[in-house]
Amino acid sequence: MCPSVRWIKTPSKNRLELGPKTATLPDLLVMDKERRLIIAGNWKCNKTVAEALDLVNGLKRELVAVTEADIVICPPFTALDAVSKAIFDSPLRLGAQNLSEQGYGAFTGEIAPGMLRDLSVRYVILGHSERRQYQAESDALVARKAANAHANNLVPIVCVGETLAEREASITEKVVGTQVRGSLAGLTVEQVEQTVLAYEPVWAIGTGKTATTAQAQEVHFFIRSVVASLHGETTARRIRIQYGGSVKPGNARELLGQPDVDGALVGGASLEVRNFADIVKNTLQATA
């Protein structure tokens, strides 16, 4: 934790200031986005190829004119090829949901970065809480995967977030700070700057419970201060931090309107054209 760094608003730009964190949240709730928004749909283990094509064709129709934000869809590996071909003439960008820490070789069941690049994949979700929980992925493994992604021109979307028990024990900052430091370990300043972080409180994923705007902003602010303590103010100002956890058309506008929230990682609501398209449209109205 780096309590001596605070993120303040100036009339012209955000800047980090050294000193006690005295700014109150209402002071921070001013729209002044200097980072490009990134909204990503994590389809998880859903959709056959035919279903994926239905979804992506609907999204193409709805989002054809969107150029002011990065819109990323992350289908399962089995649909990447078909979806890649379907979106080549659209503003949609392709992401994968995992990546090996290795390259090509005798690693049964793994996916090497070259295989993703071959399908025009640009982003890869790493360290999602479901992988941390079910595949016991550690911060160190996530950091090695993130380094492998960067070495191969893939942008990692690195997920962090506390469980309900951890929030109730008031150790959110301790947990999230450890995850951020561990998952970015070994990356260069330039690589950290180009990484996307996703703050996803585990208690809000797939539960219908969303962090309040104040809770989200508070943790995003904290994450930015951790990045500042590691790599300085410029990097902290440039890194994009998404919020994830039951984002819906009805709450996206307010959540993504927070000064340190630079986009969303959307699970359930990204599986349906109307919901995902409305999240994007409502958000862009909010930040225009």
| Positions that interact with ligand PEP (CB under 6 A) | 42, 200, 205-206, 244-247, 265-269
| Closer residue to ligand PEP (CB): 263 or 268 | 268
CB of 114 to ligand PEP, least distance (A): 26
How many other CB atoms are there within 10 angstroms of residue 16's CB atom?
A: 20
Q: Which of 162, 200, 218, 220 is catalytic?
A: 200
Residue type for 13, please?
Answer: K
CB of 67 to ligand PEP, least distance (A): 24
Token pair recorded at residue 10: 């100036």
| Closer residue to ligand PEP (CB): 231 or 257 | 257
Eight-state DSSP code of residue 39: E
| Closer residue to ligand PEP (CB): 42 or 98 | 42
What are the residue ranges of helices labelled H in the chain?
Answer: 25-28, 49-63, 77-86, 113-118, 129-134, 139-151, 164-168, 172-183, 189-194, 213-231, 233-238, 249-256, 273-287
| Closer residue to ligand PEP (CB): 194 or 270 | 270
CB of 121 to ligand PEP, least distance (A): 18
CB of 212 to ligand PEP, least distance (A): 15
| Contacting residues for 197 by C-beta, under 8 A, at least 6 apart | 157, 158, 159, 160, 180, 223, 227, 239, 240, 241, 242
| Closer residue to ligand PEP (CB): 206 or 232 | 206
**Using CB atoms, what's the residue nearest to ligand PEP?**
267
CB of 209 to ligand PEP, least distance (A): 9
- Name the nearest CA neighbour of 268 among 45, 8, 9: 45
- The reply to whether 200 belongs to the active site is yes
Q: Which of 101, 128, 220, 231 is catalytic?
A: 128
246: left (phi over 0), alpha (psi -120 to 50) or beta: left
| Contacting residues for 128 by C-beta, under 8 A, at least 6 apart | 42, 97, 159, 200
| Contacting residues for 71 by C-beta, under 8 A, at least 6 apart | 38, 39, 40, 63, 91, 92, 93, 280
- The reply to whether 231 belongs to the active site is no
Residues annotated as catalytic are: 128, 200
